[in-house]
């Protein structure tokens, strides 16, 4: 299966509220075997609070200008991968790297809701995220994944990733693989 032509990156918005809340329930019930840490941001979300006050949740996300809610972090833009009014996943684009992102996080993060996985959306999410990075003037994007996260590595390689190295993350944690993608 391949993503529909209508799949696109959009600014987080109330238009996707019901679908996003369903996706949060999926994330909370999901047990992705290769990268448990990445779903932290949805595990903590209280669905009842989202139902009552979605506007405050949206206000807490980074906007198109990269305004970061947490001081000290680099500017980052949150996008949602959507299809019509369905929320499919999220893509975060960091406008530049700091020491930690250079080592671990990279320029782009992505996550696809469990019910839409294995249909090509992850590969599309990174491709669209790279377009946003290029538009920001980034000529070489750093993308990373856990050495144990085969699906994410496939996505990076399918988008032209060239492996730089593998960084040990310490006892009990998977090593981080770093890839560069040329956008020039």
Is the distance from CB of 85 to CB of 16 less than 8 angstroms? yes
Work out whether 160 is an interface residue with ligand COA (CB under 6 A).
no
Work out whether 111 is an interface residue with ligand COA (CB under 6 A).
yes
Distance CA 59, CA 155 (A): 30
Q: How far is the CB of 144 from ligand COA (least distance, A)?
A: 6
Helix (H, G, I), strand (E, B) or coil at 54: helix
Q: How many CA atoms lie within 13 A of 166 on its CB side?
A: 9
Taking CB under 6 A as the criterion, the residue among 9, 58, 112, 128 binding ligand COA is 112
Work out whether 91 is an interface residue with ligand COA (CB under 6 A).
no
Work out whether 57 is an interface residue with ligand COA (CB under 6 A).
no
Number of residues that bind ligand COA (CB under 6 A): 20
Enumerate residues 6+ apart whose C-beta is below 8 A from 45: 24, 28, 57
Binding site residues, ligand COA, CB under 6 A: 32, 35, 38, 110-112, 117-123, 145, 149, 151-152, 154-155, 158
């Amino acid at each position: 299966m391949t993503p529909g032509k209508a799949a696109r990156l959009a600014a987080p918005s109330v238009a996707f509220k019901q679908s996003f809340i369903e996706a949060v329930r999926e994330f909370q019930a999901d047990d992705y075997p290769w990268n448990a840490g990445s779903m932290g941001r949805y595990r903590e979300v209280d669905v009842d609070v989202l139902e009552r006050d979605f506007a405050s949740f949206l206000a807490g996300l980074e906007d198109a200008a990269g305004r970061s809610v947490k001081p000290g972090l680099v500017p980052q833009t949150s996008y949602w991968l959507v299809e019509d009014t369905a929320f499919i996943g999220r893509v975060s684009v960091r406008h530049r790297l700091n020491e930690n992102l250079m080592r671990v996080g990279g320029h782009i993060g992505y996550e696809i809701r469990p019910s839409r996985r294995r249909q090509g959306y992850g590969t599309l999410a990174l491709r669209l995220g790279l377009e946003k990075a290029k538009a920001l003037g980034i000529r070489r994007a750093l993308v990373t994944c856990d050495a144990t996260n085969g699906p994410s590595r496939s996505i990076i390689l399918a988008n032209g990733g060239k492996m730089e190295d593998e960084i040990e993350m310490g006892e009990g944690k998977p090593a981080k693989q770093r890839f560069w993608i040329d956008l020039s």
